[in-house]
A = this chain, B = another copy of it.
Amino acid sequence: MASIKDVARRAGVAISTVSKVLNGYAGVSDRTRERVNEAIEELNFTPNAIAAALSSGKSGRVAFLLNLEEGTAAVDEIDLQYLAGAIHRARELNMDVITLFFSMLKDKGTAEVVNYLKAQSIEGIIVYGMEREDPFWKALIESGEFKTVVVDAPFFDRNTSSVWIDQRKAQYDVARKTILENENCRRVLYIAGRKDSYVTWERIRGIRDLAGELDLELNVVYGDFSERKARELTFLHEKETDVFVCASDLMAIGAMRALMEMDVFHPVCGFDGIALMGYAGKQMNTVRQDFFRISAAAVEEAERLMGGAEGRNLVLDYELVRMKYQDIIR
């Protein structure tokens, strides 16, 4: 591989000049810049990212921390979209993302993890699906060692940003749409997610807003994001329920299956907009979160923080959609 030295020699300039050109710094005459670019071209030179990182002390490396649960197809889809979004955007921004699994770290102490990440020259962390009370993350964030972007949890400070959609409003919207589209929807069963999840609470607030506004009879139960549990809860509460509002598509599928088995109809709505939903064999309203874009935004936000910006709460928008059967093609 050609090095910056070769380029400098070829262009007849000093390596610092080449460096300036490479990094787009001012203070290089057009003619010199041109000659350098020519030399770069001719030598097919690409700067060595590792050397640049060591020298500048800036690696542009972000750890992408996934909290993989037991292999579940729906979650796989979401996680993989998160990953794809992050990797694509990172590539565009010339950053490195190092994918890690939470399970690889959680049994270690904060100090050890901080050490590991610093040894890897990781400057930023992107965390998905943080839980309400998560001492591990809290400690890591509060160590102040890393720029952190938290996806789907409202945690931000000087060097931490949060990125998510307005869960409360989204839940309100999708439920409202579903209820207004159908007759006789006074009695709502709200199948919420896991209690320890931040989004769960936001979404509950959304359905509560709606219940207050439309004077609905609201029953909140917890399905823990499980299809099976949602199915069971649906059987259990069918008699006293008009409409089933679910905090995830997977649970909505569970609810719809139960209804199909009982051979009764009630409107159901979901949340997320996963492709797997098609398996319910019906249509339903849902909130389409663009995980790819959310994740891309998280990477951008990480870059912003690494550039010295202050943390903030970044709220992205969402879409209400009616999902139909989708063929699953491999």
Contact = CB atoms under 8 A, between A and B. Distances in A.
Interface residues of A, number: 59
A120 B96 CA distance: 9
B84 A49 contact: no
A161 to B, nearest CB: 23
Interface in A44-75: 44, 46-51, 53-54, 59, 68-75
Interface string A213-224: 000000000001
A166 interface: no
A15 interface: no
Interface stretch (A97-105, A131-139, A236-244): A97-105
Copies of this chain, count: 2
A116 B97 CA distance: 15
A70 B97 CA distance: 22
A71 B275 contact: yes
Contact of A49 (B119, B226, B275): B119
A298 interface: no
A325 to B, nearest CB: 10
A111 interface: yes
A276 B279 CA distance: 11
B50 A59 contact: yes
A151 interface: no
B329 A44 contact: no
A74 B73 contact: yes
Interface in A242-284: 248, 250-251, 274-276, 279
Given A46-B116, A50-B54, A83-B99, A330 B88 contact: no
A86 to B, nearest CB: 9
A49 B225 CA distance: 39
Nearest to A250: B330
A300 B329 CA distance: 31
Contacts of A202: none
A6 interface: no
A322 interface: no
Interface string A136-157: 0000000000000000000000
5 contacts: A1-B119, A44-B115, A73-B276, A225-B330, A226-B327
